[in-house]
Structure 1
Amino acid sequence: MISEKHSFDSCFEVFLADTPESKRIHYNLRYQVYCDEMGYEDKENFPDQMEFDEWDRHSVHFMVRHRYTGQWLGALRLVYQNQAVFPFEAKCVPDQPISAQQYQQSIEISRLCVLREARRFAPRAFPQQDADAEQTAKDSGNIRYLHTIKNQTRSIMWGLYRAAVVYSAQNDIKQWYILVTPSLAYAVKKEGFEMQQVGGACDHRGQRIPYALDVEHILANPLWQKDYRLDYRKYSEVFEQSVAKRQRA
């Protein structure tokens, strides 16, 4: 059992970005990861430091923040089909045609990202900060500490997935499509989630493989019984509450 002190729900919270302000936060998180950290996207294409594309008009956006510092740390989006096509279909061809009903009852999980800064919220084994601590762990062979950093990133990912699957169930979404690296697919499968490969591997920032996941099966995973039970809140509700409190003060 996860200790209450170090559970996801006690340390983090997930928000549905349902306002222009919150979507700007979401896009900036993506910019920090995909442009600054990973170099996947050209910074010159996003002078306002907000990474977005044509699919965002057909998407629902989620993001995670640390409860005690208020720092935003990760994000993902749920992409609805646009004229009977999903983003992953531009990179690889599905083994079987997607039916009209599947298009209507499916979404694609996309743009999952977690800031490197999230690592400093993991329990620390060294006094140095951020990259210095990680390098010290590598130099000393401290596998336990490096494992803790990886688990912290995965925990934020599970929190985002939990919010996404609850939203999906609430909105009659039956299936997810996801285009992921073999290592991420392994991590998801290892946690007990069934993933059906729906196409061959493609080269997109390295090897990527398309999978389909059943929403009902995701919801039934025992992972959610241990933690990640708070689902998500709407950014607009929190913002409105904050404004109301300031007005009463």
Structure 2
Amino acid sequence: MGRSRISELGRDNRSDLFSQLEEDFAFTLAHDERSRQRVYRLRYRIYCQEIGYNPPNEDDAALEQDAYDESALHCLLVHRKSGIAAGCFRLVLPAPGKDPKIRLPLQEYGGTSLTHKALHPSLLPIEEICEISRFATAREFRNRPINHETLDKPTYDFTLEERRVFPLLTIALFLATHALVGLVDRRHIFAMMASRLPRLLAMSGFRFQRIGDAIELHGRRNAFYIDNVMAQREMRRELLEPYRHIHRQLASQLPRAIANVAPLPLRILEEP
């Protein structure tokens, strides 16, 4: 089922698909070195082996990391029955006192491309900004999977019933970023993205604003911005219940996850 067909489904059908997604998948926040390494391994598969961020090697335990991981919260989307990691993202939260010229990854990699006169990380309060990055789904959940190795058995065969929710994983991951940004009381969200993802998210009411010129970063990308308060107001109504479900999952895990990150304002908001 393609993305266009998902957008054309009636509200009841979309509700059924999201209910199944809630049953089949869980969001987990990394809270120790072992869980963080699981995120880094998935990132290595996607960003090094597929995209080519760094030259891949044959080491199955290889990790993809950078200096911003220490000041970030890391989230993994896991298929419950198999234990397979289906997607991930990180939320970079610059610590107070950070150099305003390089608070976020996109300032380092695309600083000269940021052209908006007002929506610039260096011009906004540091305690209100964040960046979504390393946002991706595993290849097996983007293409038709046949067999996949799991944590506790040789292979896993996804059923047609399980596969029918795979096109919703990208929006589910973004609902998780939206929830997590609110939970840590940030408002201004930045991201460096190819144009396809903002177009997809706009179909669900999340309208990112382009704030910079295109750069070449493993493909053509632009810096984008969204106000998390406005995102809450403009989110499509049928996403509210899935959002609440994800919000509850993350809220219960956040205190333990944030314990090993640089001191940050932590405000767990009431459920919307």
Q: Is the 8 A contact 1:22 1:235 kept in 2?
A: no
Report what 2:99 is aligned to: 83
Counterpart among 187, 195, 198 of residue 182 in structure 1: 195
After superposition, the CA RMSD in angstroms is 3.0
CA offsets, 1:23-42, max 9 Å, x none?
01100010111122333322
Deviation at 1:4, TM superposition (A): 3.4
Cα distance between partner residues in 2 of 1:47 and 1:236 = 31
Deviation at 1:227, TM superposition (A): 2.7
Deviation at 1:48, TM superposition (A): 4.2
Q: What residue ranges of structure 2 are gaps of 5+ in the alignment?
A: 1-11, 149-159, 257-272
Equivalent runs, 1:126-205 vs 2, <5 Å:
129=146, 152-153=166-167, 155-205=168-218
Q: Is the 8 A contact 2:171 2:201 kept in 1?
A: no
Cα distance between partner residues in 2 of 1:47 and 1:65 = 19
Which moves more between the two structures, 87-96 or 48-57?
87-96
**If the length of structure 2 is used for normalisation, what is the TM-score?**
0.69
* Runs of 4 or more consecutive aligned structure 1 residues displaced over 4 Å after TM superposition: 44-48
Cα distance between partner residues in 2 of 1:129 and 1:45 = 22
Q: For residues 202 and 169 of structure 1, do their structure 2 counterparts lie closer, same or farther at Cα, with a shift above 3 Å needed?
A: same
> Residue 162 of structure 1 aligns to a residue in which SS?
helix
Cα distance between partner residues in 1 of 2:59 and 2:185 = 34
Q: Is the 8 A contact 1:78 1:110 kept in 2?
A: yes
Cα distance between partner residues in 2 of 1:70 and 1:45 = 23
1:114 aligns with 2:137: yes
Cα distance between partner residues in 2 of 1:129 and 1:51 = 26
Which moves more between the two structures, 201-210 or 97-106?
97-106
Q: Is the 8 A contact 1:17 1:235 kept in 2?
A: no
Q: Is the 8 A contact 2:194 2:221 kept in 1?
A: yes
Cα distance between partner residues in 1 of 2:204 and 2:187 = 20
Counterpart among 13, 16, 20 of residue 4 in structure 1: 16
Counterpart among 55, 63, 67 of residue 80 in structure 2: 67
Q: What residue ranges of structure 1 are gaps of 5+ in the alignment?
A: 123-127, 132-144, 238-249
Count of residue pairs the alignment pairs up: 214
Deviation at 1:60, TM superposition (A): 0.8
Q: Is the 8 A contact 2:129 2:188 kept in 1?
A: yes
Deviation at 1:13, TM superposition (A): 0.9
Cα distance between partner residues in 1 of 2:88 and 2:136 = 5
> Residue 191 of structure 1 aligns to a residue in which SS?
coil
Cα distance between partner residues in 2 of 1:22 and 1:200 = 36
Deviation at 1:182, TM superposition (A): 1.3
Which amino acid letter does the alignment assign opposite residue 137 of structure 2?
V
Cα distance between partner residues in 2 of 1:159 and 1:73 = 11
Cα distance between partner residues in 1 of 2:254 and 2:49 = 25
Counterpart among 222, 230, 235 of residue 209 in structure 1: 222
Which amino acid letter does the alignment assign opposite residue 94 of structure 1?
L
> Residue 74 of structure 1 aligns to a residue in which SS?
strand
